[in-house]
Amino acid sequence: MSRLALSLALALALYACQDPPAPPPSVGDEGRPAAEPTPKAPEPAPEPAPVPEAPPKVALPSPDPARLEFVPDPTFAQIELLNTAKQAIASGADPTAAYEALLKTEPLSGARISAAIALADLKRSKGQPAEALALLEDLYRKAPPLPEIAFVLGRTYKDSSRLEAAILAFEEALRLQPLLLTAHVEIGGLLSQLGHAERSAAAFLEYERAIYRYAKLLEAQDTHLDDKLKITEAFSFLPDDRAALALVDALDDPEVTVRDAVVRALAEVGTDSTLPALHAAADKHADDPYLLASIRAAIDGIKKTRQEHDPNLGPAFIPTPAPADKATPKADEPPPTPP
């Protein structure tokens, strides 16, 4: 007990031992002592308001104390297993066995990281998000900080309805690699689902600004060659017409390496809206046989992709004529009755 509390207790005890002085009797209207008023019952103290439980703090997996600082080179056996998985995919077979065998090898090289990401994506596609998540979280703890791991982890959190964790993972991916522009779109969509309209709008606005900023860097003549190649690769994963049109403009870049990378990127993300620009580029670069061939290949690739989505489009769609001996009935006539 504190000294102040002890002093208060002794004072109260001494006051209780003394006889209090008797108050003079009050006199009523008729000279009789008035009745003493009935003391009011003490009002009950208000119950304290319940304290709401704090929501659990969302965080990404904690790095392992032995987390690698760099990615070591793969062994020959790891390269062979990764090639086996690629061959299985090319032949339409299941690469799971090759991936799982590669994950049991050491060290944690780029080949093993690629296998873990690919296997997790395979499990996601098979409706096994829990197994994919366990695989990616373990990889995130042990591998060096890589934007690809954080990005795929974010998508897996999203599939598992862990939206706050998904946002953190996409933000981490952007911190590690600002050119992962799709992460802005993912963050904006998740914030919208969570009811954060203003933050969602801010994320989409940042996406718009990023496209404009990198398109200007791709256009600038003083941008380093390596940076232009990185921007071109980033735009090749971005199904956005503004990025595709920025790639079309980059066909005039003086570096042949950039032009070649741009054409290959356009073959991946080009759409109907970029076809006129590509045709114009083909006419403009008619004196460059190599670039012209690449542009035409990109145009054919875009048309092929469009045709795969809608088989009724493109020159390959030719209606099969009806046989001459069996006339096709008109729209207002019923079909002939079979014998």
Q: Mind listing the pLDDT tens digit for each residue in 36-65?
A: 566 665 666 666 666 555 456 788 999 999
Structure tokens at 7: 């002093």
Q: Distances in Å between the alpha carbon of 71 and those of 104, 142, 144, 224, 336? A: 17, 11, 7, 25, 72
Separation between Cα atoms, residue 232 and residue 260, nearest integer Å: 10
Q: Which of 230, 272, 228, 227 is nearest to 252 (CA)?
A: 228
- In terms of domains, do 236 and 304 share one? yes
Q: What is the pLDDT of residue 53?
A: 56
Q: Distances in Å between the alpha carbon of 339 and those of 174, 325, 330, 336? A: 69, 16, 20, 9
| Residue 32: inside a domain | no
Instruction: Among 122, 144, 166, identify where a domain stops.
Output: 144
| Residue 102: inside a domain | yes
Instruction: Among 124, 144, 164, identify where a domain stops.
Output: 144
Give the up-direction half-sphere exposure of residue 330: CA atoms within 13 A in the CB hemisphere: 2
Separation between Cα atoms, residue 125 and residue 111, nearest integer Å: 21
Q: Distances in Å between the alpha carbon of 32 and those of 27, 29, 331? A: 6, 7, 116
| Residue 283: inside a domain | yes
Q: Say whether 157 sits in a helix, a strand or coil.
A: helix
Structure tokens at 51: 């304290």
Q: What is the pLDDT of residue 125?
A: 87
- In terms of domains, do 114 and 173 share one? no
List the beta bridge partners of residue 33. 27
Backbone φ and ψ for 315, nearest 5 degrees, come out as -70, -15
Query: Is-contact 292 285, C-beta < 8 A?
Result: yes
- Domain of 170, CATH number, reads 1.25.40.10
Instruction: Among 89, 118, 144, identify where a domain stops.
Output: 144
Which residues form the domain of 290?
223-314
Separation between Cα atoms, residue 123 and residue 137, nearest integer Å: 14
Structure tokens at 302: 């875009």
Q: Which of 122, 182, 188 is nearest to 150 (CA)?
A: 182
| Residue 6: inside a domain | no
- In terms of domains, do 119 and 108 share one? yes
| Residue 30: inside a domain | no
- In terms of domains, do 254 and 285 share one? yes
pLDDT tens digit at each of 339 positions of the chain: 444 444 434 344 433 444 444 555 544 445 555 555 666 656 666 666 665 554 567 889 999 998 999 999 999 999 999 999 999 999 999 999 999 999 999 999 999 999 999 999 999 888 888 999 999 999 999 999 999 999 999 999 999 999 999 999 999 999 999 999 999 999 999 999 999 999 999 999 999 999 999 999 999 999 999 999 999 999 998 888 889 889 989 988 999 899 989 988 988 887 777 888 888 888 888 888 888 888 888 888 888 776 554 433 333 322 333 334 444 444 444 444 444
Q: What is the pLDDT of residue 217?
A: 96
Q: How many domains does the chain have?
A: 3
Q: What is the pLDDT of residue 268?
A: 84
- In terms of domains, do 128 and 190 share one? no
Q: What is the pLDDT of residue 38?
A: 62
Separation between Cα atoms, residue 87 and residue 94, nearest integer Å: 10
Widest distance between CA atoms in the chain: 133
pTM of whole model > 0.75?
Answer: no
Q: What is the pLDDT of residue 274?
A: 80
- In terms of domains, do 259 and 293 share one? yes
| Residue 100: inside a domain | yes
**CB atoms < 10 A from the CB of 308, how many?**
10
Q: What is the pLDDT of residue 285?
A: 86
Query: Is-contact 154 183, C-beta < 8 A?
Result: yes
Q: What is the pLDDT of residue 172?
A: 97
∠ at Cα 86 (107, 290), nearest 5°?
115
Query: Is-contact 152 121, C-beta < 8 A?
Result: yes
Give burial (CB, 10 Å; 0-12/13-18/19+) of 165: buried
DSSP state of 33: B
- Helices 289-309, 275-284: axis angle to 10 degrees equals 160
Q: What is the pLDDT of residue 81?
A: 95
Q: What is the pLDDT of residue 278?
A: 85
| Residue 85: inside a domain | yes
- In terms of domains, do 252 and 210 share one? no
